[in-house]
Amino acid sequence: MGFTWWMPDDQTCRGFFKYLPRRYLTDLEDFTSVEITQIEDLLLRDNTKNHSNSTDLINLRELQKDHLLNDFILCVHQSIGNSRYLRIPDSHELIPDTAIEFAERLLAIRKRLLKRLGE
Amino acid sequence: MVILPHALPSLLKIHSKANLSDNEILKMIVSINQGLRILEPNSEEIHKNQKEVIEIRDSSTAAIEYGRLIVDFSALISSQSLVGLGEILRSDRLYLEGNNISSLDVTTNPSILYLDMLDNLSLRLERIEEWLEMD
C-alpha cells in the first residue's frame, strides 16, 4: 500500500478501479456511447492535435468505467451485501496479483498521458 | 480473509459451524443460494474486448486506446470477481452441507480464458507504455 493512504481515493488503484468493499453510488453522472464514438471518430480524422477532445474522451471513458464498476458493486451488494451471514470480501481476494499490477501500470499511464495532453 | 477449518477462502462470517444449530446452518445455506441466484446470471456474461487494433501514433490515438483499455480491463476484473465470488459461495455451501471438501480446488484462480484476455490487454498496455516512453 505504501504511502497511498493520504492520496485522494480516485488517484489510487483501490479508488480508481473501485475495489471492494465499497458502497454503490446512486448519483453517477450519465454518459452516452454515441458521444464516445463521435469523439473517437473525430480524433482519428483530425490532425490538428486538439487536446481538449482527447481530454473529453478520457473523461467519458472513465465515466463509462465508473458505471461498469458501479453495476458490479450493485450486483455484489444485492447478492451477499444484505445477508447477516455473509461478508463482502476485499477485491484482492478475488482478482490475481497480475491484474492488480496491471491496474497500477494503467494508472501510471493515465498520469503520464494527462501530463502529455496538458503540455 | 476468514479461513475455515477446511482451509479454503470463505465469505461466511462465522469461523466454524461446530456450534451452530441445524436451523442456523439451513438459514446460511438459503442465504448462499439467494446470493448465487443473483450472481450466476451476471457472471456468465463475458465482456468482448475491442477487436479493432489501433496504431498509436500521437496523443489522440493514445487517448483512444487508453480509454478502451480501462473499460475492457474494468469489465474483465468485474466478471472475474463475480466468478470468484460464486466459486467461494459454492465452496461455503458444500462445507455447511457437511461435505468433505478438503480436496476441492476452490480458489479464485483465474480461468484460461481470463488469462488470455489479460495477456491481450497487456500487449495493448505495453504499446501505450512504449509510445509514452515509460520504463
Lookup: cell for B121: 490487454
Q: What are A86's strand-pairing partners?
A: B12
**Distance of alpha carbon A74 from the chain centroid:** 16
Q: What is the mean pLDDT of chain B?
A: 84
Write out the DSSP string of B50-119.
Answer: P-S-----SHHHHHHHHHHHHHHHHHHHHHHHHHHHHHHHHHHHHHHTT---TT---S-PPPHHHHHHHH
The pLDDT value given to residue A2: 53
Lookup: cell for B69: 483499455
User: What is the per-residue pLDDT across A60-98, written as a single tens digit (0 to 9) for each?
Assistant: 999 999 999 999 999 999 999 999 999 999 999 998 889
Write out the DSSP string of chain A.
Answer: -TTGGGS-GGGSHHHHTTPSS-PPPS-PPP--HHHHHHHHHHHHH--S--HHHHHHHHHHHHHHHHHHHHHHHHHHIIIIIT-SSB-PPPGGGTS-HHHHHHHHHHHHHHHHHHHHHH-
The band of B86, judged by pLDDT with boundaries at 50, 70 and 90, is very high
- The pTM for the full model equals 0.89
The band of B111, judged by pLDDT with boundaries at 50, 70 and 90, is confident
Which positions 42-71 of A are in contact with B (Cβ < 8 Å)?
Answer: 43-44, 46, 49, 51, 53-55, 57-58, 60-62, 64-65, 68-69, 71
A111 touches chain B (CB under 8 A): no
Instruction: Count the neighbouring beta carbons within 10 Å of the beta carbon of residue B108.
Output: 18
CB contact under 8 Å between B88 and A96, yes or no, is no
* A6 compared with A8, residue with greater pLDDT: A8
Residue B103 has pLDDT above 70, yes or no: no
The band of A20, judged by pLDDT with boundaries at 50, 70 and 90, is very high
CB contact under 8 Å between B28 and A85, yes or no, is yes
